[in-house]
């Protein structure tokens, strides 16, 4: 099984809350490259959204892995150190506790993890957001997967024939 872990934290803002300093990104990328070469990670990517650094990683340790969460915590401590050296805004803002207890639950960083059986072609799409709520994705996800104007599969699906759609609309009007 492969585990996809996306872990993000605000460890210091460049130009207020709007960006991550390039030196912080470089430090995180170096750490991820070391983790890949030491075979802790199968693959990894460092991204940013607003002033959050996101570590997008694949590994074989399962969800809530102390090894992976500890690695992410160490990366965020490193980027916090870079932010402090540069005198950036809110250095270490999401590192609420210095005592790492094995996983990131209840601490400042946010994370999502998914364990799955890898297939030959396994594209993954990661939505990153800062200063918003999960509902921010409602319209784009609807437009992508449920709007027949964007999703041809819905137009040709036998379950979405004119008769079934009109029955649905009629039942909705009766309510």
Cβ count near 162 (within 10 Å): 7
Q: Is the pLDDT of residue 61 over 90?
A: yes
Question: Residue 110 contacts by C-beta under 8 Å, 6 or more apart in sequence?
Answer: 7, 8, 9
Provide the pLDDT confidence category of residue 101 given band limits of 50, 70 and 90: very low
pLDDT tens sequence across 113-147: 999 998 888 788 888 888 888 788 899 888 888 78
Question: Do residues 48 and 129 touch, judged by C-beta distance below 8 A?
Answer: no
Q: Give backbone dihedrals phi and psi of 52, rounded to 5 degrees, phi first.
A: -100, 135
Average pLDDT for the chain: 84
pTM of the model as a whole: 0.79
CB 37 within 8 A of CB 120: no
Measured distance CA(126)–CA(151) in Å, rounded: 20
Among 68, 54, 71, smallest CA distance to 9 is for 54
Please answer whether residues 21 and 14 qualify as being in contact, where contact means their C-beta atoms are separated by less than 8 angstroms: yes
The Cα 67–Cα 45 span in angstroms is 17
Integer distance in angstroms from the first to the last C-alpha of the chain?
A: 46
Angle in degrees, 0-180, between the axes of helices 66-86 and 22-37, rounded to the nearest 10: 150
Compare 158 and 65 and report the one with higher pLDDT.
Answer: 65
Other C-beta atoms within 10 Å of 63: how many? Answer: 16
* Edge-to-edge order in the sheet of strand 52-59: 43-49, 52-59, 2-10, 110-116
CA 141, CA 145: separation in Å to the nearest integer?
Answer: 6
Give me 9's structure tokens: 């934290």
Give the residue extent of every domain in the chain. Answer: 2-131, 138-174
Architecture of the domain whose range is 2-131 = 2-Layer Sandwich (3.30)
Task: Provide the pLDDT for residue 16.
Answer: 75
């Amino acid at each position: 099984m492969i585990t996809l872990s996306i872990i993000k934290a605000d460890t210091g803002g460049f130009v207020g809350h709007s960006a991550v300093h390039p030196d912080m990104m470089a430090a995180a990328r170096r750490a991820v490259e070391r983790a890949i070469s030491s075979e802790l990670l199968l693959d990894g990517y460092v991204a940013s959204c607003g002033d959050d650094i996101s570590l997008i990683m694949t590994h074989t340790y399962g969800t809530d892995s102390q090894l992976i969460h500890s690695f992410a915590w160490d990366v965020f401590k490193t980027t916090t150190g870079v932010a402090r050296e540069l005198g950036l805004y809110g250095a270490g803002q999401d590192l609420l506790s210095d005592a790492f207890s094995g996983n990131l639950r209840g601490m400042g960083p946010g994370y999502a993890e998914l364990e799955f059986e890898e297939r030959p072609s396994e594209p993954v799409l990661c939505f990153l957001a800062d200063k918003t709520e999960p509902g921010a994705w409602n319209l784009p996800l609807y437009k992508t997967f449920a709007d027949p104007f964007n999703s041809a599969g819905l137009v040709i699906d036998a379950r979405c024939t004119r008769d079934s759609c009109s029955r649905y609309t009629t039942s909705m009007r009766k309510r």
